[in-house]
A and B are shown apart, each in its own frame.
Chain A
């Protein structure tokens, strides 16, 4: 597979010592739904703005299908952006908004009109062409922003937190919609979000970023199942961390309890354990004490004290067989299979 965008040691400093991006290198493949995921301030939006050309890098190269383009102004780059606030031109109609890019490229009027029609149909809003952008609802504006960015058939589409202004229900709808659009148009999508669930459901691959660096690149399941380090594990999904010593085939916890190990690391390690991969069980291999019980409808969340550490989370589905709710302070045992333990050695 050829790479759509390849980024080599890209850095950006706002001022001396204020690094927004620190020597980032990245390959984004052709026709891929790629997500930049990270907390706010991690540099993901900066990276997107560098690709779009709104900011200039301090150093590094950005290639689009092999061509370096870090020196081109944004209006000469065949990439288009869907902005977080949509940035629809308020003084133009929806059709004028969608046709703007084609008009700037000097396309004939008839072609523009036809493309606008096609785009409106693509985003399933065929009748709003004559309206002004500010007369539309948030969800509709979102679709028009998408249509506008897709109208001139960019080689890469950039989406900057594009769903964050929508409410939950619309958001789920648009997630599916975006996947469909990506499949239909065959355009490479680069999506920026801080919402890990959104990233996991939509992406072909994800890059997790923190403090101007890329921590891990991989498919959603790689990232969820095999986080490269503690930051990634902490950011993606819920994770319990336990400090331990790896001694031979054994992982020894602070209070002397042991867990089986399936990995060769030795010495001080951190164990990452997902709350849904363990279960309360009388024959369990780990002892703890109930600190708090939180009923959440589908699940019950138990906060336990394990090996001297508090706040160990265990999720159990609420089935038909009702277990009497555990009381605070009650001793419990946990079943922790070796496969549920991810050993992180920093």
Chain B
């Protein structure tokens, strides 16, 4: 028999589930189900003009990450896709490291300002988040193209115009990624620095540490959670980005995102596209899992 208390709790739970249900249904039908279907599609054979052949299962899509079939239907090792995976990965890593190198000093600078100035600067950091990414990337096309502002500036130093080929290169993609995701690094680091008890740093000074030592031994370790959060926030969207390599990389610096898109456009290979998308998603989950485990480990130790 249930006590009045258990009955009341059950009623309460039902009411709460009822409130959650509409949103949950929306996400379940239009996101979770599509992701599940995507996983299924990645194990199917492609149709002739897009679409898939239902019921014909194969791991062909995943095999084609590494091999292609020659005329005799033998598997031949193929580095085309691997090269793109590698480029995506290293560009995302380099972006994350670059963001850390610029983001940490910036966040430290912000944290040390008076409250009024700090709020204004913080606002300036967040503004780009609210503006269209496509438009901001387009602005870099204007700057980087041959005959653009950067090219012109280089010309002043005697570099002939158009000789460097700034736009449509991995370098341009890297600049675009850095530019787009820097605020994602600055904000979490700033948040952890804002919570920091600066008397600890005073204690370090008092115990004879100079600024560099205090930074290295006190501030950096305490800002680590923010840096890790920032690294996750930068790495994940950088890895899966589509617009930036599309616009700034041209055909020369494709990343996984572009490869996925190609399979649904001219490539007409949905299973391969699904397999690529699913691999990308798995990488993201791995990165999150790594971060989550680290955090949990820290909590256990604390």
A and B touch in the complex (CB under 8 A): yes
| Residue positions of A touching B, CB distance < 8 A | 12-13, 55-59, 70-71
A70 and B7 CA atoms in complex are apart in Å by 13
| Given A56-B4, A58-B4, 18 new contacts (CB under 8 A) | A12-B5, A13-B3, A13-B5, A55-B5, A56-B3, A56-B5, A56-B7, A56-B8, A56-B9, A57-B3, A57-B4, A57-B5, A58-B5, A58-B6, A59-B3, A59-B4, A70-B4, A71-B4
A55 and B8 CA atoms in complex are apart in Å by 9
Min CB–CB distance A40 → chain B (angstroms) = 22
Min CB–CB distance B2 → chain A (angstroms) = 10
Min CB–CB distance B4 → chain A (angstroms) = 5
A57 and B4 CA atoms in complex are apart in Å by 6
Q: Which residues of B contact A58 (CB under 8 A)?
A: 3-6
Min CB–CB distance B37 → chain A (angstroms) = 40
Min CB–CB distance B9 → chain A (angstroms) = 8
A57 and B9 CA atoms in complex are apart in Å by 11
Give 13 CB contacts A-B under 8 Å.
A13-B5, A55-B5, A56-B3, A56-B4, A56-B5, A56-B9, A57-B4, A58-B4, A58-B5, A58-B6, A59-B3, A59-B4, A71-B4
In chain B, positions 1-38 with a C-beta closer than 8 Å to chain A are: 3-9
Min CB–CB distance A268 → chain B (angstroms) = 41
Min CB–CB distance B16 → chain A (angstroms) = 16
Q: Which residues of A contact B8 (CB under 8 A)?
A: 56
Q: Who on chain B is nearest to A12 by CB?
A: B5
Q: Which residues of B contact A56 (CB under 8 A)?
A: 3-5, 7-9
A71 and B3 CA atoms in complex are apart in Å by 11
Q: Which residues of B contact A12 (CB under 8 A)?
A: 5
A12 and B7 CA atoms in complex are apart in Å by 13
Q: Which residues of B contact A71 (CB under 8 A)?
A: 4
A12 and B5 CA atoms in complex are apart in Å by 8
A57 and B3 CA atoms in complex are apart in Å by 8
Q: Who on chain B is nearest to A11 by CB?
A: B3
Min CB–CB distance B7 → chain A (angstroms) = 8
As a 0/1 sequence over residues 250 to 283 of chain B, the CB contacts with chain A under 8 angstroms (1 = contact) are: 0000000000000000000000000000000000
Q: Which residues of B contact A70 (CB under 8 A)?
A: 4
Q: Which residues of A contact B4 (CB under 8 A)?
A: 56-59, 70-71
Q: Which residues of B contact A57 (CB under 8 A)?
A: 3-5
Q: Which residues of A contact B7 (CB under 8 A)?
A: 56
A13 and B9 CA atoms in complex are apart in Å by 12
A70 and B4 CA atoms in complex are apart in Å by 9
Q: Who on chain A is nearest to B7 by CB?
A: A56
Most A CB atoms within 10 A — which of B3, B5, B6, B7? B5
Q: Which residues of A contact B3 (CB under 8 A)?
A: 13, 56-59
Q: Which residues of A contact B5 (CB under 8 A)?
A: 12-13, 55-58
A25 and B6 CA atoms in complex are apart in Å by 21
Q: Who on chain B is nearest to A58 by CB?
A: B3
Q: Which residues of B contact A55 (CB under 8 A)?
A: 5
Min CB–CB distance A208 → chain B (angstroms) = 25
Q: Which 10 A-B pairs have CB atoms at the shortest separation, nearest pair first?
A: A58-B3, A56-B8, A56-B5, A58-B5, A56-B4, A59-B3, A57-B5, A57-B4, A12-B5, A71-B4
Q: Which residues of B contact A59 (CB under 8 A)?
A: 3-4
A70 and B8 CA atoms in complex are apart in Å by 12
A82 and B9 CA atoms in complex are apart in Å by 25
Q: Who on chain B is nearest to A55 by CB?
A: B5
A13 and B5 CA atoms in complex are apart in Å by 9
In chain B, positions 115-147 with a C-beta closer than 8 Å to chain A are: none
Min CB–CB distance B12 → chain A (angstroms) = 10
Min CB–CB distance B202 → chain A (angstroms) = 31
A12 and B4 CA atoms in complex are apart in Å by 10
A71 and B4 CA atoms in complex are apart in Å by 8
Min CB–CB distance B290 → chain A (angstroms) = 34
Q: Who on chain B is nearest to A59 by CB?
A: B3
Most A CB atoms within 10 A — which of B3, B6, B7? B3
Min CB–CB distance B242 → chain A (angstroms) = 44
Q: Which residues of A contact B9 (CB under 8 A)?
A: 56
Q: Who on chain A is nearest to B3 by CB?
A: A58
Min CB–CB distance A50 → chain B (angstroms) = 10
A56 and B7 CA atoms in complex are apart in Å by 9
Min CB–CB distance A57 → chain B (angstroms) = 6
Q: Who on chain A is nearest to B6 by CB?
A: A58
Min CB–CB distance B3 → chain A (angstroms) = 4
Min CB–CB distance A60 → chain B (angstroms) = 9
Q: Who on chain B is nearest to A73 by CB?
A: B8
Min CB–CB distance B51 → chain A (angstroms) = 53
Q: Who on chain A is nearest to B8 by CB?
A: A56
Min CB–CB distance B5 → chain A (angstroms) = 4
A59 and B5 CA atoms in complex are apart in Å by 8
Min CB–CB distance A14 → chain B (angstroms) = 9
Min CB–CB distance A20 → chain B (angstroms) = 10
Q: Who on chain B is nearest to A14 by CB?
A: B5
Q: Who on chain B is nearest to A70 by CB?
A: B4
Min CB–CB distance B33 → chain A (angstroms) = 36
Min CB–CB distance B53 → chain A (angstroms) = 53
Q: Who on chain A is nearest to B9 by CB?
A: A56
Min CB–CB distance B13 → chain A (angstroms) = 13
Q: Who on chain A is nearest to B5 by CB?
A: A56
A12 and B6 CA atoms in complex are apart in Å by 10
Q: Which residues of A contact B6 (CB under 8 A)?
A: 58
Q: Who on chain A is nearest to B2 by CB?
A: A58
A58 and B24 CA atoms in complex are apart in Å by 32
In chain B, positions 146-171 with a C-beta closer than 8 Å to chain A are: none
Q: Who on chain A is nearest to B11 by CB?
A: A56
A57 and B7 CA atoms in complex are apart in Å by 10
Q: Who on chain B is nearest to A71 by CB?
A: B4
